[in-house]
Amino acid sequence: GDSVTQMEGPVTLSEEAFLTINCTYTATGYPSLFWYVQYPGEGLQLLLKATKADDKGSNKGFEATYRKETTSFHLEKGSVQVSDSAVYFCALPNSGYSTLTFGKGTMLLVSP
Amino acid sequence: DTGVSQNPRHKITKRGQNVTFRCDPISEHNRLYWYRQTLGQGPEFLTYFQNEAQLEKSRLLSDRFSAERPKGSFSTLEIQRTEQGDSAMYLCASSSQGSGTEAFFGQGTRLTVV
């Protein structure tokens, strides 16, 4: 079945460091891909998405490129802030687009 | 609208007791989803509704679990005869039909079974 694999955390960075969180997927066809973020004490929020191969999703300085050759959708940010500390989830929809399969999540801790 | 609302935020119950959670989706959304999240894991799909119809259920949803959305607005998730393994965060989300899975999530209900 469809699945998502994320790098394990926590990822600990200093403010202004470069961030990469790896995500690879297994799916039939080429579904949309998503990154969700969960800030402490809050619900999951959609961070960005890409709907087809080679698309780049971006939001709040974060980017991710849909690469079908490597079945990857890595999340990147050039300069992280303390406020980016959160748990990040990579996700893909089922074939009917009625639900999402999430990765296990990667916790990011950014220190000043 | 203030987003997806879930109540209660926390629930501690003794093993064997029944519990019920409520979710109020964003008012114009006709799709509503329930997920379960355990520590260190991503959310796992339980079930979803389109209006009042329950269209899909995961194999995770054992016979002790039941979900309803009687008028196509709020939804309830009931767990009967709770077990310690039911301890988790229960997440509700809603979306508009046609938006695929761009769902908006509530803050969740954390269940602890002692």
Please report the DSSP string for B25-55 in residue order.
--TT--EEEEEEE-TTS--EEEEEEETTEEE
* B96 burial via Cβ count (<10 Å: 0-12, 13-18, 19+): middle
Q: Which amino acid is at A84?
A: D
A:B CB pairs within 8 Å: 57
Residue A109 pLDDT: 97
pLDDT digits (tens, 9 = 90+) for A60-79: 999 999 999 999 999 999 99
Angstroms from B103 CA to nearest CA on chain A: 8
Residue A43 pLDDT: 86
> Is pLDDT at A44 greater than 70 in this prediction?
yes
Residues of A in contact with B89 (CB under 8 A): none
Interchain proximity A43–B3, CB inside 8 Å: yes
| d(C-alpha A79, C-alpha A14), whole Å | 9
Interchain proximity B43–A45, CB inside 8 Å: no
Q: What is the mean pLDDT of residues B24-52?
A: 92
Tokens (6 digits) for A104: 């296990």
Residue A31 pLDDT: 84
Question: Residue A99: pLDDT band by 50, 70, 90 thresholds?
Answer: confident
| d(C-alpha B39, C-alpha B21), whole Å | 19
